[in-house]
């Protein structure tokens, strides 16, 4: 096996934009071998696009994790972990594995839906996953929950949230402000425990962004696995996902999905990094 291996512990999204499909497509695009232990099955009501989330039975997850660990992943990433039991299983599996990196995407909300899937998960994430994370990649809502504060809306509030999240033990924190911070560009903020860096890209007029969060975290996982330094890994992941958003497609009246392979097939997008 010459390719390095990345395991994602995640759900499926039947639209193919987010979830494990986004992860595995993104790993493939970084020349990595991707595989998945499935936690949840998500479908959408075609009329309202509200999400219907079904859990994979715990014993079935246990069997998958047993198989997955026997394949010795170099890196583990997590996506949708729907409850405390699944979070504990993921945490145990990561500790048992010899993986060098753990990329924690603390999925709590799906695009367009601001309600946290299950508020009980926040506490488990803080105690069981943040302490073992190489890097955690929350959006603003998720960052507010993990930090125990209101959803941050300004750069100063994001910095405060990053510091609070860092106290739980991850080596790095990157908070995806995206287009929702009160600045002219799409801004994500990286923190290594000492310094803050802003990652800036142009805001896009029409953004096909379903799957963007999963794709960004999967690209971060890929870049760490491929040996990039943390800030470089995050910068390259932002360029990867910005291109995916720019070149995505409208699937129906409800959803526009990212194009996971746009970075390699169409082209990159400029990302600037500046100390904050
Ligand atoms: O984008 C978050 C997300 C993650 N994982 C699965 C999803 C979604 C959103 O729809 O369905 C499986």
Instruction: Specify the pLDDT at position 120.
Output: 83
Task: Sort strands 135-136 and 51-55 into parallel, antiparallel or unpaired.
Answer: unpaired
Instruction: Specify the pLDDT at position 51.
Output: 87
Instruction: Specify the pLDDT at position 114.
Output: 53
User: Per residue in 228-246, pLDDT tens?
Assistant: 999 999 999 999 999 999 9
Judge whether 236 and 194 are in contact, CB under 8 Å.
no
> Which atom of ligand 1 sits closest to the CA of residue 212?
1
- Taking CA atoms, 81 is separated from 12, 67, 107, 160, in Å, by 11, 18, 7, 26
What is the distance in A from the centroid of ligand 1 to the CA of 258?
A: 13
Q: How far apart are CA 99 and CA 87, in angstroms?
A: 17
Q: Look at the alpha carbons of 165, 233, 115, 11 in this order and tell me if their dihedral is positive or negative.
A: negative
What is the distance in A from the centroid of ligand 1 to the CA of 77?
A: 14
Query: Which CATH code of 3.40.1190.20, 3.50.50.60, 3.20.20.140, 3.40.630.30 fits the domain covering 5-275?
Result: 3.40.1190.20
Task: Sort strands 196-201 and 75-78 into parallel, antiparallel or unpaired.
Answer: unpaired
Instruction: Specify the pLDDT at position 111.
Output: 58
Counting as low any pLDDT under 70, the low residues of the chain are: 1, 110-117
Judge whether 239 and 263 are in contact, CB under 8 Å.
yes
Cβ(248) to ligand 1 under 6 A?
no
For the chain, give every domain's residue range.
5-275
Instruction: Specify the pLDDT at position 117.
Output: 65
């Amino acid at each position: 096996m010459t390719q390095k291996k990345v395991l994602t512990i995640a759900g499926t999204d039947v639209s193919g934009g987010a979830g494990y499909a986004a992860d595995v497509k993104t790993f493939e695009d970084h020349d990595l071998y991707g595989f998945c232990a499935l936690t949840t099955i998500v479908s959408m009501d075609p009329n309202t696009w509200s999400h219907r989330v079904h859990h994979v039975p715990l014993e079935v997850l246990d069997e998958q994790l047993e198989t997955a660990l026997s394949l010795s992943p170099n890196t583990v990433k997590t996506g949708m972990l729907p409850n405390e039991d699944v979070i504990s299983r993921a945490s145990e599996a990561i500790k048992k594995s010899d993986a060098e990196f753990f990329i924690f995407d603390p999925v709590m909300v799906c695009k367009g839906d601001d309600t946290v899937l299950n508020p009980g998960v926040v506490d488990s994430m803080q105690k069981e996953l943040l302490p073992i994370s190489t890097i955690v990649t929350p959006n603003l809502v998720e960052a507010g929950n993990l930090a125990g504060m209101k959803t941050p809306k300004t750069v100063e509030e994001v910095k405060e949230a990053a510091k609070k999240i860092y106290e739980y033990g991850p080596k790095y924190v990157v908070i995806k402000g995206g287009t929702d911070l009160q600045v002219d560009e799409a801004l994500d903020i990286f923190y290594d425990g000492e310094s803050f860096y802003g990652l800036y890209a142009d805001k896009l007029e029409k953004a096909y962004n379903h799957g963007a969060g999963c794709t960004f975290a999967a690209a971060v996982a890929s870049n760490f696995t491929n040996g990039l330094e943390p800030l470089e890994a995050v910068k390259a992941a932002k360029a990867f996902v910005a291109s995916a958003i720019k070149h995505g497609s409208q699937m129906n009246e409800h959803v526009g999905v990212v194009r996971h392979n746009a970075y390699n097939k169409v082209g990159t997008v400029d990302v600037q990094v500046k100390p904050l």
